Amino acid sequence: DIQMTQSPSSLSASVGDRVTITCRASQSISSYLNWYQQKPGKAPKLLIYAASSLQSGVPSRFSGSGSGTDFTLTISSLQPEDFATYYCQQSYSTPGITFGQGTRLEIK
Amino acid sequence: EVQLVESGGVVVQPGGSLRLSCAASGFTFDDYAMHWVRQAPGKGLEWVSLISWDGGSTYYADSVKGRFTISRDNSKNSLYLQMNSLRAEDTALYYCAKDISHSSGIMDVWGKGTTVTVSS
């Protein structure tokens, strides 16, 4: 199985900050990398697919980049509603889909 | 409105069986592959199973292979997960999710989940 490792596991930031979350795959996954946001008590929400494509309806302050084994999710200017847990997920080896362990973004 | 609604989660004893259902609406159900994903209490997301648009291909995580069976009834716009030989480690919130296309692995619509608790 392809292992996905996110860093950091948790992060404190302030409204207006620029935030970057990193995801590393245990082997090359080309651009088959997706990002989800999950708020407490809610289902995950697709933010970015294919490493850098913004899902419809997602604010443009969210962006993704990377290919191969190293990927990043960037939030350009944190808004109060962005405090949540973020998961990366590889779809390279579908159906052997795997998620990262999550990054909890908290208010400083 | 595109919507997925899961049901069937209950408290069940170890070794027991359970069938989860997911009712889909607002999109052409038989155009898309579907997934089950679970989340143990306080833990991350774990992909469980995938079924192709026509039900002809099914796939499972190693942790559930041989115990769980995914199926769908396109005439009823419904997805199912038959869970047998349940273990304590199967305790989780189970989500159904729509694939963005034919088994891409990208999940663009999620239900709110149904809770399965395996305990004596």
**In chain A, helix, strand, coil percent, each to 5?**
5, 50, 50
| Alpha-carbon gap: A57 to the closest alpha carbon of chain B (Å) | 12
**Among A19, A25, A16, A31, CA closest to A80:** A16
pLDDT the model gives residue B93:
98
Across the interface, of A55, A87, A95, the residue whose CB is closest to B59 is: A95
Say yes or no to pLDDT of B21 above 90.
yes
Average pLDDT of chain B, as a whole number: 97
Beta carbons of B108 and A97 less than 8 Å apart:
no
Residue B52 scores a pLDDT above 90: yes
Q: Is B48 at the interface with chain A, CB within 8 A?
A: no
pLDDT category, A100, cuts 50, 70, 90? very high
**Which residue in the block uniquely carries the two structure tokens 């999950």?**
A38
A/B interface, count of CB pairs below 8 Å: 60
Contacts of A99 in chain B (CB under 8 A): 44-47
Q: Average pLDDT of chain A? A: 97
Q: Which residue of chain B is at minimal alpha-carbon distance from A92?
A: B105
The tokens describing A51, both together, are 């490493």
Q: How confident is the model at residue A95 (pLDDT cuts 50, 70, 90)?
A: confident
Dist CA A42 CA B119 (whole Å): 24
Residue B56 has pLDDT above 90, yes or no: yes
Instruction: Report the C-alpha dihedral over residues A7, A12, A14, A18, rounded to 10 degrees.
Output: -10
Using a CB-CB distance cutoff of 8 angstroms, which residues of chain B are in contact with residue A42? 112
pLDDT at site B26? 97
Give the lowest-confidence range in B15-19, B80-84, B97-101, B102-106. B102-106
Best A53, A87, A91, A104 member to test B by mutation, with max B CBs in 10 Å, is: A91
pLDDT above 90: residue A65: yes
CB atoms under 10 Å from CB of A40, counted, come to 7
Check CB contact under 8 Å for B50 and A97.
Answer: yes
